[in-house]
Chain A
Amino acid sequence: MGKRNVFDLIGPIMVGPSSSHTAGAVRLGTMARRILGEEPVRGTIILHGSFATTGKGHGTNLALVAGLLGMEPDDERIPEAPKIAKERGLNFTFETADLGDIHPNSVKFDLFGRNGCHVEVLGSSIGGGSIVIREINGFQVDIKGDYPTLVILQQDLPGVVAQVTFLLATAQINIAHMRVAREKKGAQALMVLETDQKIDEAVLGLMRKLPKIYQVLAIESLE
């Protein structure tokens, strides 16, 4: 979390009862939807730790679905989210599991989208409504949603990162944080870049045409 300001202490405006178990859960759903890159139509939501044990009374299930539907944490339809999902023909099922040595307020989404996209996202609600995405499709990441974020799936080869950063530099986009992780040497790698400026479609289009780049995903910052 960056330096605090008055609106971190009086705010956010949200639907209760818990900033971590409700507002944070909505934001985790929102991030999972954005990482999928299209409307999720079905999937499994796996609750871990305190999400699994006290989630029911906090409306965590409702909040996670609300986020997947694209609602904000202050949307008063959150309690009706599963009903709305059903009306739209969407099907999300809940499971509980021990996901290992991670934050007690954690959830794993296994989502399928309208056009057939599939993604697995693991995230945690770390207090006061703040969240962090820990894993995308098994790749370790650290995305808090504070910045516009680029997630790029590429081949692990020399120069691939450079061509992306060169493109960003040309577009006057400054990189705030950056992380590259790979499956194994020479195989697929995942690059996560948090930027100070929003990245427009033209730049994304150019990026998608670069060699050895398989997938480019731009995630808007939360709020």
Chain B
Amino acid sequence: MALSKEQIAQRIAKELKDGFYVNLGIGIPTLVANYVPNDIEIMLQSENGLLGMGEFPTEENVDADLINAGKQTVTCAKGASFFDSAESFAMIRGGHVDLTVLGAFEVDQSGNIASWMIPGKLVKGMGGAMDLVAGAENIIVAMTHANKHGVSKILKECSLPLTGVQCVKKIVSDLAVLELIDGKFHLIERAPGVSVEEIVEKTEAELVINGDIPEMTFN
């Protein structure tokens, strides 16, 4: 079975390490915050000017002046700080954020990512994504492996306008965990009950499969 959005987030949460400063993009990445392991301490950076994003507020604590980059009302975690957008992106561009998790329309085997527009059809804007992929050492893409017609979104070469070049190192999709090593995706794990054949069929990019591929586990 393909993973649900929550399960993708849950699998990504296993990549978090104690002491990490992490930026979570809009959509599935935001859900990762719900699955932070209890035995580690991390801090979430929100590029609109908050380091130390807490949980959603109770109804009586909703504050229009306190939102995250997805424009959702949030609260502050212990040790939080506020700053302006220039400072926020100094943190990001300056490589101070340990891990960035973001969504994508397409990823290719050169590590390129496309996530901000489909010409003539849809334009979201890049927001902070171009700065995040240029600045982070460590980027995980959370995405569905193929579109609703079964066409792969993990490609030899992206067809859509790019967000960044040669920056993606890992993908957690609804079917698999892939790592990009020397220009080739390596199949690391598969979703429970999903066959290697199905993953191969839904991956246009070159895929390296070494030995038995374990099923994902969740915390």
Do A and B interact with each other, yes or no?
A: no
B interface residues, Cβ below 8 angstroms from A: none
